[in-house]
A = this chain, B = another copy of it.
Amino acid sequence: MPRTRSALPSTGPVRLGPDARAVLRPAAAEVRAGFWHARRQVNAHTSIPQGPDLLESAGNLHNLRLAAGTAQGEFQGAYPFVDTDVYKWLEAAAWQLAQEPSEDLEAHTDRIISLVAGAQQPDGYLNTWFQLREGGERYQDLRWGHELYCAGHLIQAAVAHHRATGRDELLDVARRFADHLDATFGLPGSGRPIDGVDGHPEVETALVELYRETGERRYLDLAGYFVDRYGHGLLGGEAYCQDRVPLREATDVEGHAVRQLYLLAGATDLATETGDAGLRAAAERLWRAMTAAKTHITGGLGAHHDQEDFGDPYELPNERAYCETCAAIASVQWSWRLALLTGEARYSDLIERTLYNGFLAGVSLDGESWLYVNPLQVRDGHTDPGGDQSARRTRWFRCACCPPNVMRLLAGLEHYLSSSSEDGLQIHQYVTGRYRGDLDGTPVTVTAETDYPWHGVISLTVEETPQDRPWTLSLRIPQWCREYRVRRGSRTYDQTDAPVTDGWLRLEGTWAPGDQVVLELGIEPRLTAADPRVDAVRGCVAVERGPLVYCLEQVDHPGGGLDDIVIDTTRPLAVKHRPDLLGGLITVVAAGHRRRLLDGGSDGGWWPYRSAEAAPGVAPRAGEPVELTAIPYYAWANRQDGSMRVWLPTS
């Protein structure tokens, strides 16, 4: 597709600058009904409104008052980044206010912005941990201090608030902090006192967005300085902090997953704004390495608990999948930037997979409890550790990074759904609602009706179009989809006569208001296997349907656990509409049986390893048949505690 040129200013988290090299630019969208509307209603009317009380009781707002000198007491919270919980909530509130005015939410937002502004020091610095607990000593421990990470989230919240409401209060705070950083950090000889980067990247992507919002080039330059100073040992050279190797030279994603992904989002922003070919190549290379060998089927990222980091290639454990909710969010943010930069559909394929699975599992259906880690298996007999890394939903975390991160992504979700270019309008994600791009300033609007992801039919109607100028309506055909049909006017095409190129089905021509397109994606349930190098799932399949990954929960399989269950892959899968279940969903029903385990031989069964000549420990006859009921992974852990598994043994 040709390169984007002019654009209506995006009102979302990513606004391209005037010189951006992106192929696509974000289009506006509305979500009016359907799957994501329901999730966003819960976000808007339960999760976000509960935020202020949770931030109050966890002490985050108290800390701001302490820093402002308007309250007394002890600092509360265990981490130097507790302020970001507030900033992420403010960003969520801003996107929410942009959609749906609320006096109550606006009042909370204003009040909390005042607290933030009050806590800021005269020179722009703001971090309650260091102001209160470290006697004001700044930047003494960049590896662990998170001071710039906090600045990044503040900046993102401020940009969101400005874009959503047009108001300056928070943006002024953010600019003061950014100006302070610009005066503080730089190369030796630059006149700035500190040559350093933050142990947790995040400020880079935020500074690019602040440049986009304000036009101040120095924020972009500062972001570029930070991105390129990782990998030079300023943080001790650890992969964990993205300091082992410069990003431009990296060949694989590594270290702490969220750190890696936020850094890559910033690098992609830079490549977009500056045309930096080295950063762009690195971002594309690392995205491909990540998806090919370090991404769980849910889109979840991060294989290790103890460093929250990526594992080795194809090291994708199930019960110890870390898959932090924040990593899924960061993956969506990064992939969207690559989708805009390159115009390639695969990035939105991953976004779709992540949104419906690894991301959405992070919040309960009622919007009141959360998962920090998102395993793909909970074993029979699981002993839960409790705490932040629990496989049970938790009301709030000691390290509460994920919940407000979920809130801000859900509240701003419409900004990740469509794009436009001088070529036309691209629909990346299917919702009931409206997509609105422009062709050199002339609006192009398409409305959509769909029951996606439960059904594959998407009915699109052109609402606004230039009358005399042909353009292309590009529809992403999901990577999982093997068959589709599209009806345009009176003609119907399928994959043979309307082929997909690079993931896009391109419908060209001139359009008139009222023109209809009906896309029908084949959405039969399917069994999926993994590359054989993913040792953790050898001999297993996963059930999928459309963009949804399914799982078994113990509660649906009375009479036993899940670890002795086998799926019979020769029997057909069935779908079952279950309006009664978990807010209404479609289950996939499969045939299976429980293994008949041997009771143990002459050794009394104390040793689980036996001669491979006989299938060890398994009686030759299949055991009791079991009807397997698979629910979408996003809906797991919303009923009673018990085991769960995504990958099902086939024998």
Tell me the chain A residues, 516-557 only, with Cβ under 8 Å from chain B. 526-536, 538-542
How many chain A residues touch B (CB < 8 A): the figure is: 71
Taking A538-B649, A541-B612 as contacts, is the C-beta distance between A291 and B606 under 8 angstroms?
A: yes
Q: Is the CB of B536 within 8 A of A539?
A: no
CA distance A317 to B237 in the complex (A): 29
Contact B615 A529 (CB under 8 A): yes
B528 touches A609 (CB 8 A): yes
Q: What 4 A-B pairs come out closest when comparing CB atoms?
A: A306-B306, A531-B608, A527-B612, A529-B612
Q: Are A312 and B382 in contact (CB under 8 A)?
A: yes
Find residues 287-306 in chain A having any chain B CB closer than 8 Å to their own CB.
288, 291-293, 295, 297, 304-306
Q: State whether the Cβ of A254 lies closer than 8 Å to any Cβ in chain B.
A: yes
Find chain B residues with CB under 8 A from A581 CB.
Answer: none
Minimum CB–CB distance from A289 to chain B (whole Å) comes to: 9
User: A595 an interface residue at 8 Å Cβ cutoff?
Assistant: yes
Contact in complex: B379, A611 (CB < 8 Å): no
Within 8 A of B (CB), among A566-586: 569
Name the residue of chain B whose CB is nearest to the CB of A345.
B603
- A533 to B382 CA separation, bound complex (whole angstroms): 13
CB distance from A480 to the nearest CB of B (A): 9
Q: Cβ of B539 and Cβ of A539 under 8 Å apart?
A: yes
In-complex Cβ contact of A320 among B304, B383, B612 (8 A): B304
Instruction: Answer whether residue A605 sits at the interface, using C-beta atoms and an 8 A cutoff.
Output: yes
* Cα of A527 to Cα of B442 in the assembled complex, Å: 70
CB distance from A527 to the nearest CB of B (A): 4
Q: Does B539 lie within 8 Å of A538, measured CB to CB?
A: yes
Determine whether A1 belongs to the interface, using a CB cutoff of 8 Å to chain B.
no
Query: Can you list 28 residue pairs at the A/B interface with Cβ under 8 Å?
Result: A288-B604, A288-B606, A291-B608, A293-B608, A297-B609, A304-B306, A305-B305, A305-B306, A312-B319, A312-B382, A312-B383, A315-B320, A315-B379, A317-B317, A318-B535, A320-B320, A527-B611, A527-B612, A527-B613, A530-B609, A530-B616, A532-B597, A532-B617, A533-B597, A535-B563, A538-B539, A538-B540, A541-B612
Question: What residue in chain B is nearest A310 (Cβ atoms)?
Answer: B383
Given A528-B610, A564-B533, the answer on whether A315 and B319 have CB atoms closer than 8 Å is yes
**Contact across chains for B346 and A603 when beta carbons are under 8 A apart:** yes
Give the residue among A307, A379, A383, A608 with the most B Cβ atoms within 10 A: A608
9 further contact pairs, Cβ within 8 A, besides A315-B319, A527-B613: A292-B607, A312-B380, A312-B381, A479-B603, A528-B612, A531-B617, A532-B597, A535-B647, A541-B612
